[in-house]
Amino acid sequence: MLKSFADYIVFTIIGLVPGSRSGESLNFFIYDTLKIFLLLTTIIFVVAIIRTSFPPEKTKRMLSHKREYVGNVLAALLGIVTPFCSCSAVPLFIGFVESGVPLGVTFSFLISSPMVNEVALIMLWGLFGWKIALIYIGSGLLVAIFAGIVIGKLKMEKYVQDYVWEMQVGNAEIVEQTFRQKIDYAREYTLELLKKIWPYVVIGVGLGAFIHGYVPQDFLARWAGRDNPFAVPIAVALGVPLYSNAAGVIPIVHALMEKGMAIGTVLAFMMAVTALSLPEAIILKNVLKNRLLAVFFGIVAMAIVCVGYLFNAIL
C-alpha cells in the first residue's frame, strides 16, 4: 500500500519516469520515510508502555547478588526492557554495584541497554527485514553477556572510582503507575523521541536514497566487501563517534550494503554506533578509572569485530 502511494506521488503527480535516477531516488525516499515513521510511532509507543513495568529500581533488585553467567544473561535481557538514558548512567551504575549487583553483571546491562534499543531495531526491521533485526538482537545480547563475563573474571573492582564504594544509597519506594499514567507516559515519550530523531531519519533516508539512485552498483564491493579483512575493524572505529545518530546512520548503511558492503561489516558498524560512544565514555569516567574504561571499550570493540567476521563468513 505504501509502495503504491509512493509510486502514485512520484510517477503520477510529479511525473518522473519510472526507472530514471531521479524518479527511483525520490520514490525510495518517500517510501522509506513513510514506512519508518509508521513503524517508529507504533513500536516506540508499545515499548514505552512495556518499559513502565520495568523501572531500574526493580531491575536492580532482580540482579542483586546474582551469580555470574545466570546474572549476565538476565542482565543483558533486562537491558532490553529497562529504560536507559546515558544521562542517568552514573546513578544507575552506583545504584547497581552498591546493592550488590556484581561488576561484570552490571556491565552486561550497561552494554545491552543502549545497543539493543528500539530505534535501532525498528530501523533494521524496516530496512533490512526481520531476520537481520533478530540477528542483531541475538548477537547484541551475546556481546553484552560475553563482555560482562570477561570483565567479571578480570576482577576489576579496584578500578571503579573509590567514592562509589563509600556511597550511602537510600531505598526509594517505587510508586506504581496507573494504566492511565502509563499511556500518558508512553505518548509523551514517543512524541519526545520522534521530535528528537526525525531530522536524522529524514537526512539519513535522503542520503540513502541518493546513494541508491546515483552511486554505481558494486561501488563498495572492493573496499567494504567480505574479502577485505580490514573492513570490519575500520567500520567499528568509524562507528564510535557517530553516537545518537543511529536513526540517521542505518538508512545510509542500508544503501551502502546495496552497493557491496558485506552484511557482517554492516552489523558490526551498527553495534559500534549504538554500544560505544564518546559521550558515554565521558559520563562513565565519573565512576570508572581509566584502566577499566579502556578494558570495557576494548573488550566490547573486540567482541563486535568478531561478530562482524562471523557473519561475513556465514551469511
Partner 1 sequence: MKIEILGTGCSKCKTLYDNAKKAVEESGKEAEVVKVEEIPKIMAYGVMSTPALVVDGKVKLSGKVASVAEILGML
Contact residues toward partner 1 (CB under 8 A) are: 55-57, 60, 83, 85, 87-88, 90-92, 94-96, 98, 163, 167-173, 175, 185, 188-189, 286
Q: Which residues neighbour 90 within 8 Å (Cβ) at sequence distance 6 or greater?
A: 283, 284, 286, 287
- Angle CA(287)–CA(288)–CA(294) in degrees, nearest 5? 150
* 92 vs 123 by CB, closer to partner 1: 92
* C-alpha cell recorded at residue 296: 570495557
* 7 vs 98 by CB, closer to partner 1: 98
* C-alpha cell recorded at residue 268: 558490526
Query: Nearest distance from residue 161's CB to partner 1, in Å?
Result: 10
Q: Which residues neighbour 240 within 8 Å (Cβ) at sequence distance 6 or greater?
A: 272, 273, 276, 277, 278
* 19 vs 173 by CB, closer to partner 1: 173
Query: Nearest distance from residue 298's CB to partner 1, in Å?
Result: 26
Query: Nearest distance from residue 91's CB to partner 1, in Å?
Result: 5
* 22 vs 181 by CB, closer to partner 1: 181
Query: Nearest distance from residue 296's CB to partner 1, in Å?
Result: 20
Query: Nearest distance from residue 283's CB to partner 1, in Å?
Result: 9
Query: Nearest distance from residue 243's CB to partner 1, in Å?
Result: 16
* 37 vs 198 by CB, closer to partner 1: 198
Contact between 28 and 212 (Cβ < 8 Å): yes
Query: Nearest distance from residue 201's CB to partner 1, in Å?
Result: 21
Query: Nearest distance from residue 87's CB to partner 1, in Å?
Result: 4
* 68 vs 98 by CB, closer to partner 1: 98
Contact between 9 and 30 (Cβ < 8 Å): yes
- Packing angle of the helix pair 263-275, 231-239 (nearest 10 deg): 30
* 92 vs 135 by CB, closer to partner 1: 92
Alpha helices by DSSP H, 129-262? 130-153, 162-166, 179-214, 221-224, 231-239, 246-258
Q: Give strand pairing partners of 160.
A: 288
3-21 residues labelled b (16+ CB within 10 A) or e (exposed): eeebeebbbeeeebeeeee
Contact between 143 and 303 (Cβ < 8 Å): yes
- Residue 240 CA to chain centroid, in angstroms? 12
* 109 vs 311 by CB, closer to partner 1: 109
Q: Which helix (H) or strand (E) holds 44?
A: helix 21-51
